[in-house]
């Protein structure tokens, strides 16, 4: 990784521990193989903190928060670990707690990007639940199909992270193909009110609008 302190020099370093990064802009991660998406959990903060809350996704700003940072310092990473252990470990979700529907709608309306619209269309038009693991498409095939569906407008190295951000959970699945035991990485997505392995519909190998 490469980072720097305020007004400082760039420093490259290999992370040795679980890394927590808070940002108000998307982070550029090279994910051409999908490996980064498998190791990254993106947690959306659905609220904006403002002086006078009005929208469903706005909350009252705490003017005294900065003064409390010193007292929080020693317990902050312990708190992050507890959040991970209690709410995130082995769970396919992108928020710590359930987000009210009116808040989700306000956030989606404010942050909607063209690729999100295309992902909805891609999911509806090109994907369907796989009746069994042997019929599910590989995660790599799904990523490639979405890349082609967008006509290259989504950078290839960002496809995996964008799918992960919208609920595509990649996992290793063991299954039998005839008499042979095999393994494949696949996507599980919430469809028909259940988390299911997905497959590309027949003839759906990509293509743009």
DSSP β-ladder status, 194-200 and 11-12: unpaired
pLDDT at 178: 79
pLDDT at 164: 86
Per-residue pLDDT in tens (0 to 9) along the chain, 209 residues:
777 877 888 888 887 877 777 777 767 777 777 777 777 777 777 888 899 999 898 999 998 888 888 888 778 778 888 888 887 777 766 667 777 888 878 877 777 788 888 999 999 999 999 999 999 999 999 999 999 999 988 888 889 988 988 889 899 999 988 788 999 999 999 898 888 999 999 865 544 44
Q: How many Cβ atoms sit within 10 Å of the Cβ of residue 107? A: 19
pLDDT at 209: 40
As given in the structure block, the two tokens for residue 178 are 């005839």
Q: Is 110 helix (H, G, I), strand (E, B) or coil?
A: helix
CA distance 38 to 84: 16
pLDDT at 203: 65
As given in the structure block, the two tokens for residue 112 are 């909607």
Q: How far is CA 15 from CA 3, 18, 76, 148, in A?
A: 11, 8, 19, 33
In the chain, how long is the greatest CA-to-CA distance?
Answer: 65
- DSSP state string for 135-172: GSPBHHHHHHHHHHHTTT-S-GGGHHHHHHHTT-EEEE
Q: In what order do the strands lie in the sheet with 194-200?
A: 127-129, 194-200, 180-191, 169-177
């Amino acid at each position: 990784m490469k980072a720097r302190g305020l007004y400082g020099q760039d420093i490259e370093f290999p992370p040795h521990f679980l890394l927590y990064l808070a940002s108000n802009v998307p982070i550029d991660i090279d994910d051409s193989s999908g490996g980064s998406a498998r190791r990254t959990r993106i947690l959306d903060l659905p609220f904006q903190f403002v002086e006078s809350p009005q929208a469903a996704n706005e909350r009252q700003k705490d003017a005294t928060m900065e003064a409390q940072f010193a007292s929080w310092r020693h317990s902050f990473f312990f708190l992050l670990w507890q959040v991970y252990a209690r709410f995130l470990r082995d769970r396919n979700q992108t928020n710590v707690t359930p987000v009210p529907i009116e808040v989700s709608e306000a956030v989606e309306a404010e942050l909607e990007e063209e690729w999100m619209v295309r992902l909805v269309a891609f999911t509806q038009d090109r994907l369907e639940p796989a009746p069994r693991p042997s019929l599910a498409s590989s995660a790599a095939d799904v990523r490639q199909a979405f890349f082609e569906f967008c006509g290259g407008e989504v950078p290839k190295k960002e496809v995996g992270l964008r799918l992960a951000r919208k609920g595509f959970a990649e996992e290793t699945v063991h299954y039998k193909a005839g008499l042979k035991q095999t393994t494949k990485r696949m996507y599980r997505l919430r469809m028909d009110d259940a988390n299911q392995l997905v497959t590309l519909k027949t003839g759906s190998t990509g293509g743009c609008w």
